[in-house]
Amino acid sequence: QQQVKQSPQSLIVQKGGIPIINCAYENTAFDYFPWYQQFPGKGPALLIAIRPDVSEKKEGRFTISFNKSAKQFSLHIMDSQPGDSATYFCAANSKDSNYQLIWGAGTKLIIKP
């Protein structure tokens, strides 16, 4: 019940396309859902996050869509650029998990020029 399932494992999109990465969870106590972006040779960095009281959050070209009833959330990247090529991780947490983040397995995204 503590798992966060992320798909796809890898994704190749042409420049300008809209890659979509999906995550699903079971624990209804989760109340914070961040996305982290990791470039090769670097540690992950917080990209965007959402709480379950909103259905969508946008920051620049990055959008999180959240479906509380389906227990799913997804990351969309508008007008994708080669510089967006990275590994993306979704995560979730709640005070029940002592605020420890539960991580998805990651999606390796490649944006082709």
Partner 1 sequence: NAGVTQTPKFRVLKTGQSMTLLCAQDMNHEYMYWYRQDPGMGLRLIHYSVGEGTTAKGEVPDGYNVSRLKKQNFLLGLESAAPSQTSVYFCASSYSGQPFYGYTFGSGTRLTVV
Q: Which residues bind partner 1 (CB under 8 A)?
A: 6, 9, 32, 34, 36, 41-46, 49, 89, 91, 93, 98-101, 103-106
Q: Environment class of residue 45 by beta-carbon count within 10 Å: exposed (0-12), middle (13-18) or buried (19+)? A: exposed
In the bound state with partner 1, the residue whose beta carbon lies nearer, of 25 and 36, is 36
In the bound state with partner 1, the residue whose beta carbon lies nearer, of 59 and 79, is 59
Work out the number of other CB atoms within 10 angstroms of the CB of residue 103.
Answer: 18
Minimum distance from residue 66 beta carbon to partner 1 (Å)? 15
Helix (H, G, I), strand (E, B) or coil at 39: coil
Minimum distance from residue 111 beta carbon to partner 1 (Å)? 21
Q: How far is CA 83 from CA 40, 79, 110, in A?
A: 12, 11, 9
In the bound state with partner 1, the residue whose beta carbon lies nearer, of 19 and 106, is 106
In the bound state with partner 1, the residue whose beta carbon lies nearer, of 6 and 63, is 6
Minimum distance from residue 9 beta carbon to partner 1 (Å)? 7
Report the C-alpha gap between 82 and 69 in whole angstroms.
34
What kind and span of H or E run contains 107? strand 107-112
Minimum distance from residue 91 beta carbon to partner 1 (Å)? 8
